[in-house]
Structure 1
Amino acid sequence: MKILGGIVFLIGLFMMVSPQAVLGLQELRWIAEYSFPGEAFLGAIVCSGSLLLFGKTKESNSVNSH
């Protein structure tokens, strides 16, 4: 599931970057051709949702543990 989470995270990251690519380097402007209105916002949601696929982390042994 962590691999799937990483793939979905990269897709969401691409979705957030592609609308802004038109403002950057000439070499990266091709990315902006694949963007659509509202893609940056949707990309943020996809990145946030991908964190659910990474799974739970182990609880650390804190001072409060018995």
Structure 2
Amino acid sequence: MDKKAHEALERIRKDVTLTTSDMENQDAAEFFNELADWAYANGEAMLIDDEPEKQDDYEDR
């Protein structure tokens, strides 16, 4: 991760910490679960090949 991305992540961490500090534990837990789901889905989306040629080739047979 480059410096710019690392700095952005640190800003987000601070903002999330500040936001959740006033929440009840259950609400904060739900918030973090939603955030984790969102982050995981976006991370996985970045790994998906834009051109799944092998899969298309297999389906044509």
**TM-score, normalised via structure 1 length:** 0.32
**TM-score, normalised via structure 2 length:** 0.34
Which structure's CA Rg is the greater one? 2
